[in-house]
Structure 1
Amino acid sequence: MLHQEENTDLFDALNEKGENKYIVLVDDDVITNRLHQMLIKKHHSDKKIALFDDPEVALGYIKENNPDLILLDLHMPEIDGWKFLHMMEEHNIFIDVIIVSSSIDPRERLRAKSFMCVKDFYVKPLTSEKVKQLLED
């Protein structure tokens, strides 16, 4: 299921101008997506946010649009975050990704570093401080 705050035409127009680009959130947990959206909006009300609970739909959307950043969960049914990252590579999508996962396994952090697009790894849930930090970097 796709949840978008703005319609696709508006995102396309904003991207062509290079203004108010946006963030894509990919997490099978709709509540987590909404929580992270609220935290981002609290600190960066100008950011446009597209929410996806289906990684395959998200990938199709990302291929057609050019978000500034993708926040990606790792543990999702059918297409997990690892497969999603491989699919991004296969489609030559080079957008910065921040992993947002409930995992505290150091092996997953190490594995995440093997993907050039992965810029950081945060443990869920995001907090106000983490959101400020990730959007200022």
Structure 2
Amino acid sequence: MSLVLRIDRSGFVSGENIIINAECSNMTNVKIDYTKAVVHQTITYHAEGRKKKDHRKVAELKRLEIPPGEDDNWNNVEMLVPALPPLSPQYAVAYIGIFLRQFISLLGGADMALVLNFSHIYQYEVDMY
């Protein structure tokens, strides 16, 4: 089993599409239940010397099973980068990172994942002073 994931660049802004090219090969004798790409957003808020993190899934694309000995290719599949969430005025600075994860899920619950970290996509600062 192999998973190769390619994207055209490493930085995106809200409203842009991440173009996914992936090759998922199942050279086992067990079917792959599904493959999926998931975009997670992590927001780190800073205020008054404290820090708070909020992590959530903001987008997901899922493909059908891959039988033993077969492949599934993601060719120029688009995933939209979500809009920035509203920020509370109580926070002086918020850093927003995006993570793209590509999963292969095997029958029986075993998962394999590749993670691409775009932690510098957004750096959104709210100056309260």
TM-score range, shorter chain: under 0.3
Between Structure 1 and Structure 2, the one with more helix by share is 1
TM normalised by structure 1 equals 0.22
TM normalised by structure 2 equals 0.23
